[in-house]
Amino acid sequence: MNLRAVTLGPSTATLELSILEPSTSRFLDLSVILETGRSCKTEKPAILDDAIRVLTQLKSESLKLKETNEKLLEEIKCLKVEKNELREEKLTLKTDKERMEHQLKTMSIPPAGFMPTHPTAYHHPLVNKMVVYPSYGLIPMWQYMPPSARDTSSDHELRPPAA
């Protein structure tokens, strides 16, 4: 037996093991994190490949999420502008409505059931006929007749047919 090895302390192999053990345990922890639910890999290059693959996936997902976030922010800005336009339009419509209601209240409205008089025609002394106004249609007068005069059930007895 070598007295020198005993007196000097741990050998270089045990020193290397004590140095490499934390990194190996870190690789095992990384393997467990990357491959949850699967058996742990012990090969360091395979663990590093998996870590690189996961990192690239996460990077691409984060880029996609950033793009989606930017699009959503743009859409929010557009919707805010549209909302403000709709508010302004609502206010203009409200003021127009109030203005029209005010005009309607100030107009002189005849009472219900009041029928305006027919406009008087120009009478020339030589012509005794009323001028026809094309814009005025015939006014139905049957509604002003008494019900007994409107009854046509006995017309054939009272009046002979016109031949």
How far is residue 15's CA from residue 91's CA, in Å, rounded to a whole number? 82
Q: Which residue has the tokens 């870190």?
A: 26
pLDDT at 152: 80
Residue-level pLDDT at 8: 53
pTM score, two decimals? Answer: 0.43
Half-sphere exposure of 89 (CA within 13 A, CB side): 6
pLDDT means per 10 residues in the chain (163 residues)?
Answer: 50 60 74 70 79 91 98 98 97 96 80 64 50 59 76 80 70
What is d(CA 59, CA 75) in angstroms, rounded to the nearest whole number? 24
**What single letter denotes the amino acid at residue 70?**
E
> What confidence score (pLDDT) does residue 110 get?
63
Cα–Cα distance list, 106 to 115, 145, 148 (Å): 20, 36, 43
Residues 6+ apart with CB under 8 A from 67: none
Token representation of residue 55? 């990192």
Helix or strand run (H / E) with residue 76: helix 44-106
